[in-house]
Structure 1
Amino acid sequence: MKIFNALRISLFAIVASVSLLSVAHAENALKMELTANKVVKNAEGKVSYLPVSTAPTGTVVQYKATYTNTVNQDINDLAVTLPIPTNMAFNGEVTPASAQASIDGKNYADIPLMRKVDGKMVKVPYSEYRTLRWNIRLLPAKKSAAVSLNTIVE
């Protein structure tokens, strides 16, 4: 499984999906860095992250996007979106927990997503999630904010 190609495709989609909700900011005000790391737990349960470019089915991979405000002015109301690559399944782990999810890339709601089945509200399986979105209310001048989600290689 090639993580690098999925990461490169996702990177394009992520850059295209960042939106500054407040106007009057320079085009180059925001820099984004995306990493993909294999999530490894040792016998004591301690988690470590190792760079990954390929991984077998079942491997947990964390996508982490760090957004840096490069100007001397705060950025308000920043919405950032991370797509889940088609060869990956979201596993429910996200940071910060304030993320919203979508199964169609258009309609977002708090996690867990719910839907009505046979008259009852049930949770939408994480495997159906396609994108996650975070609203960063304030990104101070020259500061960074990071968001991440964990996926499983299918």
Structure 2
Amino acid sequence: MNKFVKAILAGTGALLCLASAWAQSAEVDSRLSVQRVAAQADGRESLGPATSVKPGDVLEYRSSYHNVGKAPARGLTATLPIPAGTEFLPGSTRPVAATASTDGMNFAPLPLKRTIKQADGRVVEQLVPIAEYRALRWAPVDLPPDQTLQFVARVRVVDDRAPASAPKK
């Protein structure tokens, strides 16, 4: 398996750990899955294992929380880190009302914007490039007993490795 695929899959493993950490109660079972999205000949999509990925592949991350307790789980916050080597696909979140972050700590509504001071002193607002998004988060919710919530987002695998330098003669 090449280093690129290992890095993507290692990021997925890290996501599994982080998704579990966000469950706000010992009575909430949390699971994170990743599947590769494939287009079928008839135009429909299918989901399959993401055991091998390459640049251009679309991956779907699905975080599920199931309250196995007898009391509501209060303030459940779902956060999905966007792994290195991938880029968030706008419009792919479910529920739709997600926020995003470039640093994993400060979140704002999509699309992210920043203010930039121009050379002439003017301050302008610019969209943050999607490639800089590092995490998605949904507002805290209460999860009733024996209920399940799912949060979904898609990313595209990018090849952001630096090109190899030409051999010296």
TM-score under structure 2 normalisation?
A: 0.79
Greater mean deviation of Cα atoms: 59-68 or 74-83: 74-83
Give the match's secondary structure for 2:56.
coil
1:107 has 2:113 as partner: no
Distance 1:55 1:109 in 2: 30
Within a 5 Å distance, the mapping from 1:1-150 to structure 2 comes to 1-2=5-6, 3-16=8-21, 18=22, 20=24, 27-92=25-90, 93-117=92-116, 118=118, 119-150=123-154
Task: Tell me the CA shift for residue 14 of structure 1.
Answer: 2.5
**Do the aligned residues in 1 keep the contact of 2:82 with 2:133 (CA within 8 Å)?**
yes
Distance 2:61 2:72 in 1: 25
Give the match's secondary structure for 1:94.
coil
Aligned-pair identity (%): 30
**Do the aligned residues in 2 keep the contact of 1:28 with 1:70 (CA within 8 Å)?**
no
Task: Tell me the CA shift for residue 127 of structure 1.
Answer: 1.0
Q: Which runs of 5+ in 2 are unaligned?
A: 159-169
Counting matched residue pairs gives 147
Summarize deviations over 1:20-40 as a string: whole Å, max 9, x none. Answer: 3xxxxxx52111111111112
Structure of greater Rg: 2
Q: Residues 14, 129 of structure 1: CA spacing in aligned structure 2 closer, same or farther, 3 A cutoff?
A: same
Summarize deviations over 1:50-104 as a string: whole Å, max 9, x none. Answer: 1211211110001111111110111222111111111211121211111111101
Distance 1:56 1:8 in 2: 18
Distance 1:39 1:30 in 2: 28
Distance 1:15 1:141 in 2: 18
Amino acid at match of 1:137: V
Q: Which runs of 5+ in 1 are unaligned?
A: 21-26
**Do the aligned residues in 1 keep the contact of 2:19 with 2:63 (CA within 8 Å)?**
no
Give the match's secondary structure for 1:132.
strand
